[in-house]
Amino acid sequence: MSILISPALPNGSSPPAPASSTEADEESLSHPLLNRLNPSASNNTSRVAIVGSSVCPIESLDYEIMENDYFKQDWRRGEKIQILQYISMKWMMCFFIGLLVGLVGFCNNLAVENIAGMKFVVTSNMMLAGRYTMAFLVFASSNFGLTLFAGLITAFIAPEAAGSGIPEVKAYLNGVDAPAIFSLRTLFVKIVGSISAVSGSLVIGKAGPMVHTGACIAALMGEGGSKKYGLTWKWLKYFKNDRDRRDLVTCGSAAGMAAAFRAPVGGVLFALEEMASWWRSTLLWRAFFTTAVVAIVLRALIDVCLSGKCGLFGKGGLIMFDVTSANIAYRIWDVPPVLLLAVIGGIWGSLYNLLQDRVLRIYNGINIRGAAYKIVLALTVSIFTSCLLFGLPWLAPCRPCPSDTSEPCPTIGRNGNYKKFQCPPGHYNDLASLFFNTNDDAIKNLFSKNTDDEFHLLSMLIFFITCFCLSIFSYGIVAPAGLFVPVIVTGAAYGRLIGMMFGSQSTLNHGLFAVLGSASLLGGSMRMTVSLCVIILELTNDLLLLPLMMLVLLISKTVADAFNGNIYDLIMRLKGFPYLERHAEPYLRQLSVSDVVTGPLQLFNGIEKVGNIIHVLKNTEHNGFPVVDEPPLSAAPILFGLVLRTHLLTLLKKKAFLQNLVPAGYNAFNQFSADDFAKGLDHRDTVENIQLTDEELDMFIDLHPFCNTSPFTVVETMSLAKALILFREVGLRHLLVIPKVSGRVPVVGILTRHDFMPEHVLSLYPSLAKSKWKRLRFKLPGGVKIF
């Protein structure tokens, strides 16, 4: 029968007990909003998180292979041809992921350039005719309609598609799963909603949604399609564990970044540096192959556009912003302005993260009230944005067209650097040239070389402040929205400002300062170095900038780290995802694992009564259960292994019951197939759906063949920091704690993701919050508050 035991602690001491068992391993970080939504949860954590713009239950993933006797026997039966098929399927999947993501990335760019471009052309033509009021109404109503469409499909079809998607994918690759984040409807809304929202002139990007799109495509292919909508292919259902699907999602996220910026190497490094929590050489090869396929697909499709068959879609190759300068040279006096740019960029980046965090907290309180509030918020941001984009250029003075320009001035009926707006013939409005363009074209204008006299200092200051504020307030609405492009365009404006102020003392042109400004703000906000460096180099095609860019990224990241975390970690924490960091907090070294293990702990015997299993599954939400053998099955109580909840449900559905307390042995395998124990294929199975008779409830189940007989274990005296490193690096969901001294119960507790969360540890030991053993961070004075 089942037994309940409380874990023994060394020295007879017991830590303050948390409000509920640590076995609730699907729990997330503490969040006031989530606690109001889950009032029944009496502990300091919640089992729900904000996914997209809705609140959903979350659960943990187990990247450890469940090595029970059935798995071993099934693996021994595998022939060489099956192993070859398994390896070939991985590479084939990567090929199809790259192919599909490349197609989606091209179609996204094609649609945005044509929809937004047509809107700007119509508005500009009305401006040329002097119909300024009608031009504003057309511009604002177009943005209003596009934002409304994006908000409606996101709010009512797939709320999980709201936002960037990178925090959700990053949390999944860390071992946290949420329903519908990779569903077919989420994929559809992510693609269509991103096109609509970006075309609606919101200061958002499409890089984050492309990463989520790539992850969705990879996850759907790894599961054989969408089971909910009956779109499944049996030959694709080859991966039966979370680890293989995690690898595919990693390749999909790399492909998404490669498609967004046409940066295949940068996409791989982005997945390595920012997304993946576990990495190995074979995954590197497959991710590189996937992004190579993306690059080839984009190159082939863009070549088709060279003939002019793609409407307003810009021509060119894989390089989006070509700022190559063959005669660039550095001087010693060029370094101080670059260092100043990097330091201030790091401060701006940390301030951006702080303000974004405050705004998202406010938005979450609005979005939780219902779909109507979400849409009204999105439309309010759209109207405000339209008014600024159309109204602010009137503040900029008209500038005469340069005589040595390589393109027509003013630009009429097409995208370009010289927008006429309200200016007389032969003049252009520099601020309208930035506001009345897509974000990609605005970046291209700012990165352009030999344009030092194109923009006025006041215009650049207005553009920088506007983009900085709008990018903060545009993210968090009920629409797919990325952060990469807004930060790049804001950083480019910041870099231009620095170049204008120090241009006379530097040999660098203002376009190069814009590139370095984008790097500094990206480094200060997202805290990546290697991947950002390569992505920007692939974007700009300027290898001569490499030393300065490395210097800027390192300094800006270092400065910003002194204030807060990177933007995606802040968003994950705000959403409530229990993300395990790469490092352990210093105060965790002062605790042992026994200090955070709480009871009671639920155990099963090796041969357990069916009624007891049903009772435990109905009254707990635990996912894993230690299995203990006692006499007469063993000479003394021993830990036999660990059995999963999903496996118990499978045994109950198949009714693999015994009449007596007799081991079933290998005969238990005859009524099962490998697919029966494939994890993650169907999360809808519950114990309530299993109907059993009273006679069946008195029968027994032999759990021995279905237990993981070699679960990871730690001694109760191990440092909590050391246990965290083991838990994260191996990708565990359960870590069993065994006693230091023999003669006691064979297992004293289970460590799960919840036990390592700082909020949980500090709730048990509040004094550690004031410990000197914590990371140094500068904070605002106590009386200073933002929002």
For residue range 424-434, list pLDDT tens digits in order.
888 888 898 88
Predicted confidence at residue 32, as pLDDT, reads 37
Over residues 756-763, the mean pLDDT reads 88
Could you give the angle at the alpha carbon of 96 between the alpha carbons of 94 and 100, nearest 5°? Answer: 120
- Confidence class of residue 39 from pLDDT cuts 50, 70 and 90? very low
Q: What mean pLDDT is predicted for residues 5-26? A: 37
d(CA 429, CA 418): 7
pLDDT above 90: percentage of residues in the chain: 41
Tokens at residue 444, please? Answer: 């291209």
- Give helix 530-540 / helix 546-561 axis angle, nearest 10°: 140
What digits encode the pLDDT tens for the residues 161-175?
A: 999 999 999 999 998
Contact predicate 254/271, CB 8 Å: yes
- Residue 307 tokens, joined: 């003939």
What is the strand order of the sheet 624-629 is part of? Answer: 3-5, 601-605, 624-629, 638-644
Q: How many angstroms separate the CA atoms of 342 and 676, rounded?
A: 55
Q: Quickly tell me which residue has 């009345």 as its tokens.
A: 436
Angstrom distance (rounded) from CA 172 to CA 775:
26
Q: Residue 9: is its pLDDT beyond 70?
A: no
Q: Read off the amino acid at residue 15.
A: P
Among 6-15, 511-520, 679-688, 752-761, top mean pLDDT goes to 511-520
Of 13, 14, 8, residue with least CA distance to 745 = 8
Pairing of β 427-428 and β 624-629 = unpaired
Nearest alpha-carbon partner for 26 in 771, 620, 613: 620
Point out the least confidently predicted range of 56-60, 220-224, 750-754: 56-60
Contact between 738 and 614 under an 8 Å Cβ cutoff? The reply is no
- Using DSSP bridges, classify how beta strands 700-702 and 176-177 pair: parallel, antiparallel or unpaired: unpaired
SS (H, E, C) 561-629: HCCCCCHHHHHHHHHCCCCCCCCCCHHHHHCEHHHCCCCCEEEEECEEEHHHHHHHHHHCCCCEEEEEE
Q: Are 338 and 551 in contact (CB under 8 A)?
A: yes
CB contact at 8 A, 505 and 454: no
Number of Cβ within 10 Å of residue 87's Cβ equals 11
Range 207-227 burial, b when 16+ CB lie within 10 A, else e:
bbbbbbbbbbbbbbbbbbbeb
| 521/346 Cα distance (integer angstroms) | 6
- Per-residue HEC secondary structure of 491-544 comes to HHHHHHHHHHHHHHHCCCCHHHHHHHHHHHHHHHHHCCCHHHHHHHHHHHCCHH
Q: What is the pLDDT of residues 72-109, one digit of tens each?
A: 665 556 667 777 877 888 899 999 999 999 999 999 98
Lowest mean pLDDT among 486-500, 653-667, 694-708: 653-667
Which pLDDT score, from 0 to 100, does residue 245 have? 86
pLDDT for the residue numbered 679? 52
Give the mean model confidence (pLDDT) for residues 584-609: 86
Higher per-residue confidence, 35 vs 738:
738
- Asked whether the beta carbons of 621 and 645 are under 8 A apart, the reply is no
Here the tokens at position 115 are 């929809």
Q: Cα(580)–Cα(332) distance, rounded to whole angstroms?
A: 43
Cis check: omega of the bond before 400, within 30 degrees of 0? no
Q: What is the amino acid identity at position 679?
A: K
> Average pLDDT of 195-206?
94
Q: 675: Cβ–Cβ under 8 A, 6 or more apart, which residues?
A: 237, 240, 681
| CA 343/CA 341 separation, integer angstroms | 6
Q: How many residues belong to the chain?
A: 787
What is the pLDDT averaged over residues 709-721?
A: 91
CA distance 513 to 207: 23
- Sequence-ordered list of residues with C-beta below 8 angstroms from that of 354, at least 6 positions apart, any chain: 563, 564, 786
What pLDDT is stored for residue 42 in this prediction? 34
Q: What confidence score (pLDDT) does residue 73 get?
A: 60
The answer to whether 294 and 268 have CB atoms below 8 angstroms apart is: no
pLDDT on residue 79? 65
Structure token digits, residue 97? 């992921």
Distance CA 629, CA 323 (A): 70
Helix (H) or strand (E) holding 550: helix 546-561
> If you search the block for the tokens 């190759």, which residue do you land on?
317
Q: Kindly indicate the confidence band of residue 193, based on its pLDDT and cuts at 50, 70 and 90.
A: very high
Are the beta carbons of 74 and 86 closer than 8 angstroms?
no
Per-residue pLDDT for 666 more than 80? no
Confidence at 232, pLDDT banded by 50, 70, 90: low
User: DSSP states of 679-710 as a string?
Assistant: TTS-----GGG----HHHHTSEEE-GGGSBSS
Does residue 15 have a pLDDT over 50? Answer: no
Q: What is the pLDDT of residue 65?
A: 59
Query: Rounded mean pLDDT of 598-613?
Result: 86
Mean pLDDT of 561-577: 91
- Higher pLDDT residue, 63 or 493? 493
Q: What is the 8-class DSSP label of residue 679?
A: T
Nearest to 539 by CA among 360, 737, 321, 392: 321
Please give the Cα distance from 317 to 298 (Å, whole number).
9
The torsion angle over the Cα atoms of residues 610, 611, 616 and 617, rounded to 10 degrees, is 60
Percent of the chain predicted with pLDDT > 70 = 80
The contacts of residue 627 (CB under 8 Å, 6+ apart) are 603, 604, 605, 606, 639, 640, 641, 642, 643, 703, 704, 707
Q: Do the beta carbons of residue 178 and residue 160 sit within 8 Å?
A: yes
As a whole number, mean pLDDT of residues 406-415 equals 69
Per-residue pLDDT band for 374 (boundaries 50, 70, 90) equals: very high
**Which residue has better confidence, 244 or 307?**
244
Range with the poorest average pLDDT among 239-243, 700-704, 743-747 = 239-243
Q: Which residue has the tokens 């943005």?
A: 143
Pick from 178-192, 499-513, 697-711 the range whose average pLDDT is largest. 178-192
CB burial of 554-587 (b: ≥16 within 10 Å; e: otherwise) equals ebbbbbbbebbbbbbbbbbbbbbbbbbeeebbeb
Cα distances from 312 to residues 236, 295, 307, 415, in angstroms, run: 38, 22, 12, 8
Cα torsion for 90, 96, 101, 102, to the nearest 10°?
Answer: 120
pLDDT class of 244 with cuts at 50, 70, 90: confident
What is each CA distance from 320 to 105, 262, 421, in whole angstroms? Answer: 14, 8, 26
DSSP code of 273?
A: I
The highest-confidence range among 33-37, 144-148, 430-434, 654-658, by mean pLDDT, is 144-148
Asked if the model's pLDDT at residue 783 lies above 70, the reply is no
pLDDT, residue 447, reads 87
User: Which pLDDT score is estimated for 57?
Assistant: 67
Type of residue at 189: V
- Residue 327 pLDDT: 53
Mean pLDDT over 175-192 rounds to 90
pLDDT at 72: 60
CB-CB contact of 106 with 314 (8 Å): no
Q: Report the DSSP pairing between strands 700-702 and 607-609.
A: antiparallel
pLDDT confidence band for 449 (50 / 70 / 90): confident
Structure tokens at 366: 């609005």
**Cβ(777)–Cβ(627) below 8 Å:** no
> Taking residues 344-350, what's their average pLDDT?
96
Radius of gyration of the chain (CA): 29
SS3 735: strand
For 150-154, 416-420, 517-521, which range has the lowest pLDDT when averaged over its residues? 416-420
Give residue 29's pLDDT.
35
Interatomic CA distance for residues 565 and 518, integer angstroms: 19
**pLDDT the model gives residue 408:** 74
Q: What is the mean pLDDT of residues 702-721?
A: 89
Which pLDDT belongs to residue 148? 97
> At 55, phi and psi to the nearest 5?
-95, 125
Tens digits of residue pLDDT in 382-402: 999 999 999 999 988 888 887
pLDDT of residue 380: 96
**Which one is predicted more confidently, 734 or 78?**
734
pLDDT band (50, 70, 90) for residue 30: very low
Q: Where are the beta strands (DSSP E) in 79-218?
A: 176-177
